[in-house]
Amino acid sequence: MIEKAQTPPNFGGVLNDVCHMLPLRVYYEDTDFSGIVYHANYLRFFERGRTEFIRALGVDQLALHREEGIAFAVRSIQVEFMRPALMDDIIEVETKAGEVRGPSLHLEQTIRRGEEVLTTAKVLVVCIRNGRPQRLPESLRTVLSRA
């Protein structure tokens, strides 16, 4: 049977006053043999959400690394799995900035299918330069304080 497929709106996501929302489709490659998203792939979805969140704030991570030698590394992540995402689902990754202190940025992320919460994560990201913690640049701190 041929039906019109669902197409997510904006693949770069949408930044509003509260959070960043990134729509994603679940592909066959994301699932295990039963058609359920393999648990480790949620980390990939969260990473995409964080990357697009930073991009939506106007931060070019590649330029930041090339020009200032700064990169971001996940220091810790706590994930809670509530419900499975399934093959061909349209999901949304919500990313909210939390506390910024020194080199650290706390983020809260949620993956939803419609209104249904599937997975949540609390993420601690650290700014690094030459493999060492580096205070977040003031320009980035300013942008994050508005997010």
- Annotated catalytic residue, options 17, 30, 32, 89: 32
**Rounded mean pLDDT of 47-61?**
93
Show Cβ contacts of residue 8 under 8 Å, excluding neighbours closer than 6 positions. Answer: 23, 24, 25, 90
Q: How many CA atoms lie within 13 A of 136 on its CB side?
A: 22
Question: What domains lie within the chain, and their CATH numbers?
Answer: 14-146 (3.10.129.10)
Catalytic residue status for 32: yes
Tokens linked to 121: 């994560």
Of 122, 99, 92, 90, the residue nearest 25 (C-alpha): 90
pLDDT at 9: 57
Note the pLDDT tens digit of each residue in 76-106.
999 999 999 999 999 999 999 999 999 999 9
Asked if 47 and 121 count as a contact pair (C-beta separation under 8 A), the reply is no
Note the pLDDT tens digit of each residue in 102-132.
999 999 999 999 999 999 999 999 999 999 9
